Structure 1
Amino acid sequence: MTDLESRLNRLTTPDLKPPTFPDADVAYTLHDTPIGTLLLAIAGGRVVASSFGDEETMTTRLARAVSPRVLRQPRPLDDVRRQLDEYLAGSRHTFDLEVDLALATPFQRLVLNDLPDHTRYGATTTYGTVASDIDKPKAARAVGTALGANPVCVVLPCHRVVGANGALTGYAGGLEAKRFLLNLEAKG
């Protein structure tokens, strides 16, 4: 038997198992929901993304901000998907998930860290109120921009923030998604 035949024989041996890969530093999956497809990502047990952004853009951002070891591995996100599905079905009102704002700017972190304390399920607040709450009363537009780039949509409820007159304004998933979420919470 030649060396080549020997190597080929080892490749076709039934004892040979497919390679296994270690868990990623950042595991992600695409999750279809009633409000659109969300890219969900977790790193170190914390949610780092729940985003409407496209896959290539988001994974590149994750690789730069968190770790270059970003792999599509849905299993580590089972709990995130389950909680999201329960929320979107109306059977869950809060998330029991740790969040890491690695993809957020310092100003976004200020806005997003404050958000859950001032927006309860089924209620809304305004961009101006959020700006005042973070001691930046003239920064309503900047708050809107920060919320529009929320890397952890739905889990951090930026959809509960509306215009001063109550009008629905921008949302990363579109106004129909924002309307869906607010209507869902109004029923609950």
Structure 2
Amino acid sequence: METVAFSSVPTKVGDVLAAVTEDGVAATQFHDGPEVRARISERLRMAVVEDPDRTAPVREELAAYFAGELREFGVALDWRLMSSIQRRVLGTLFTTVPYGHAVTYGELADRSGTGVPARGIGSIMGSNPIPIIVPCHRVVAGNGLGGFSGGEGVESKRWLLTLEGYLQPTLDWDL
């Protein structure tokens, strides 16, 4: 039977939870708690195990990212919670939009070559099971930030883009 292990990292945008299968990180969330872990393990159809060795690499990378010390995640990813279209769009995002950069919904639609329109790209970003590592926060509207379904919504997106240097910090911004 396949298993999933959980671990979370306290950050300025909440306790970021990571779900790690034998294949890699399958999900991240901006909130931790028993109900969140249960929902993820049910979606994965996997038993939950305690496995600090399995979760240590993603904990270390998330902590380094939120400290402003990591620009590219190297942990293995488990894409199983995504449809083929989601995988293609999010995979394109993951491989073509680096730290400190952003792309519009329309540009990502063109890059992915899926025929999904910009509005559909927004829906795919909103259903991204691995936010932060697969950086849906780097997809913006042509006339502003656009929406964001993680954490505290668009304020979490703004915080992540400021951390990465895409947006200028405000006077009250604190890493």
Name the TM-score class by shorter chain: 0.7 to 0.9
After superposition, residues 116-155 of structure 1 pair within 5 angstroms as 116-136=94-114, 139-155=117-133
The CA RMSD over aligned residues, in Å, is 2.4
Question: Counterparts of 1:179 and 1:186 in 2: how far apart (Å)?
Answer: 10
| Unmatched 5+ stretches in structure 1 | 1-23
Structure 2 CA distance for partners of 1:110 and 1:132, relative to 1, 3 Å: same
Percent identical pairs in the alignment equals 35
**Contact 2:15–2:31 (Cα < 8 Å) also in 1:** no
2:160 matched residue in structure 1: 181
After superposition, residues 60-139 of structure 1 pair within 5 angstroms as 60-65=39-44, 67-136=45-114, 139=117
Question: Counterparts of 2:56 and 2:109 in 1: how far apart (Å)?
Answer: 35
Structure 2 CA distance for partners of 1:72 and 1:63, relative to 1, 3 Å: farther
When normalised by structure 2's length, the TM-score is 0.82
2:142 alignment partner AA: A
Question: Counterparts of 2:37 and 2:108 in 1: how far apart (Å)?
Answer: 26
Question: Counterparts of 1:76 and 1:59 in 2: how far apart (Å)?
Answer: 19
1:15 matched residue in structure 2: none
SS of corresponding position for 2:77: coil
**Contact 1:111–1:130 (Cα < 8 Å) also in 2:** yes
* Aligned pair partner of 1:39 in 17, 28, 32: 17
* Aligned pair partner of 1:51 in 29, 32, 51: 29
CA displacement at 1:141 relative to structure 2: 1.1
SS of corresponding position for 1:112: helix
**Contact 1:39–1:50 (Cα < 8 Å) also in 2:** yes
> Which whole-Å deviations, capped at 9, do the CAs of 1:162-187 have from their partners, x for residues lacking one?
00113342232211211111111117
SS of corresponding position for 2:20: strand
When normalised by structure 1's length, the TM-score is 0.77
| Unmatched 5+ stretches in structure 2 | 167-175
Structure 2 CA distance for partners of 1:25 and 1:112, relative to 1, 3 Å: same
1:105 alignment partner AA: S
> Which whole-Å deviations, capped at 9, do the CAs of 1:74-121 have from their partners, x for residues lacking one?
452111111111111111100111101112222211211111222111
SS of corresponding position for 2:164: helix
CA displacement at 1:31 relative to structure 2: 2.7
1:103 alignment partner AA: L
2:137 matched residue in structure 1: 159
